[in-house]
Amino acid sequence: MLQFRFAAESDTGRFRENNEDAGFAGPYLLCVADGAGGAAAGEVASATTSYVVSARALAAPGHDPLRLLAAATGEAHDQLVRGVDADPRRLGMATTLTAVLTNGVQTALAHVGDSRAYLLRDGGFTQLSHDHTMVQAMVDAGRITPEEAAASPLRNVVLHAVDALSSPTPDLIWLDLRPGDRLLLCSDGLSDVVHEAALAMILTVPSLRLAATHLVQAALDAGSRDNVTVIVADVVDAPAIAGNGLVLGAALEPAHLVDPGAVRPLRSA
């Protein structure tokens, strides 16, 4: 059955005091959430969303991955609503979400915002997610070029996010993955400053751990002013194993979760 072998890192970076990125990497689920907004609440949004998605995935192995991701994204929104009700200073908190989930046979992607998922296959490098940003909408409409979008001061204006104001409408996509594929999930702390050609080259490093470390270092060396979160995962065909994994960034701190008892607790390796 399809599984992921993974390495992951989340770095606060050189210019931020706290890490608003969160994530989870396991043999069946990979997810990155990049929080923003509110009174020190970006980390609450990202950690809670990552927690809900990963806990639901761990609690329901073998389920339809597309339906599970859709339901978990909605539940994350509900948790953020509760978080704002409990502390109105959190109003405006929001997060991206990019998650890939497999039940061993089917694999799905859920995506909101501008964190990214990429696929390296047979030397080809493809972006699987589609940015929900103002500049990407302008590119899609033919108003600007991708090169102009990359240099635009509006490039970080996100049009869709998981927040407390409206129910999220994630892109929900079936993925045709196969053994030998390599995936990269990352926050924009990496993708905003490191060119795709460089990402693809670093991903060819055989060691998952070294690839993840080199990607984070490349972002820092390129002057990233944001948190940087990276998950590198190889797709393999292997017997079923326990679906535990690695908790990342802001999700490591229980105080960042709106309600740790709302869903099944995470099992972290």
The domain that contains 134 carries what CATH number?
Answer: 3.60.40.10
Cα–Cα distance measured from residue 224 to residue 235, given in angstroms and rounded to the nearest whole number: 29
Q: What is the mean pLDDT of residues 50-61?
A: 94
Q: How many domains does the chain have?
A: 1
Instruction: Give me the pLDDT at residue 269, please.
Output: 39
Residue-number span of the structural domain to which 153 is assigned:
2-247
Residue 261 belongs to a domain: no
Q: What is the mean pLDDT of residues 30-51?
A: 91
Amino acid identity, residue 190?
L
Query: Count of CB atoms within 10 A of residue 211's CB?
Result: 22
Q: Which positions ≥6 away from 12 have C-beta within 8 Å? A: 18, 19, 227
pLDDT per position as a tens digit, 123-154 = 999 999 999 999 999 999 999 998 888 888 88
Q: Identify the DSSP state of 107.
A: E
Residue 25 belongs to a domain: yes
In angstroms, the Cα distances linking 182 to 115, 192, 236, 250 are: 17, 21, 9, 25
Q: pTM score, two decimals?
A: 0.95
Confidence of residue 260 (pLDDT cuts 50, 70, 90): confident
Instruction: Give me the pLDDT at residue 37, please.
Output: 74
Query: Which carries the bigger pLDDT value, residue 139 or residue 269?
Result: 139
Phi/psi at 205 (5° precision): -60, 125
Could you tell me the two tokens for 98?
């990019």
Could you tell me the two tokens for 133?
């940003």
What is the signed CA dihedral for 65, 70, 76, 81, rounded to 10 degrees? -170
Residue 259 belongs to a domain: no
Cα–Cα distance measured from residue 167 to residue 210, given in angstroms and rounded to the nearest whole number: 38
pLDDT per position as a tens digit, 177-209 = 999 999 999 999 999 999 999 999 999 999 999
263 pLDDT above the threshold of 90: no
Residue 225 belongs to a domain: yes
Residue 266 belongs to a domain: no
Cα–Cα distance measured from residue 55 to residue 60, given in angstroms and rounded to the nearest whole number: 9
Residue 260 belongs to a domain: no
Residue 258 belongs to a domain: no
In angstroms, the Cα distances linking 83 to 87, 145, 266 are: 6, 39, 20
Low-confidence winner among 7-16, 30-39, 224-233 (lowest mean pLDDT): 30-39
Residue 19 belongs to a domain: yes
Cα–Cα distance measured from residue 196 to residue 131, given in angstroms and rounded to the nearest whole number: 15
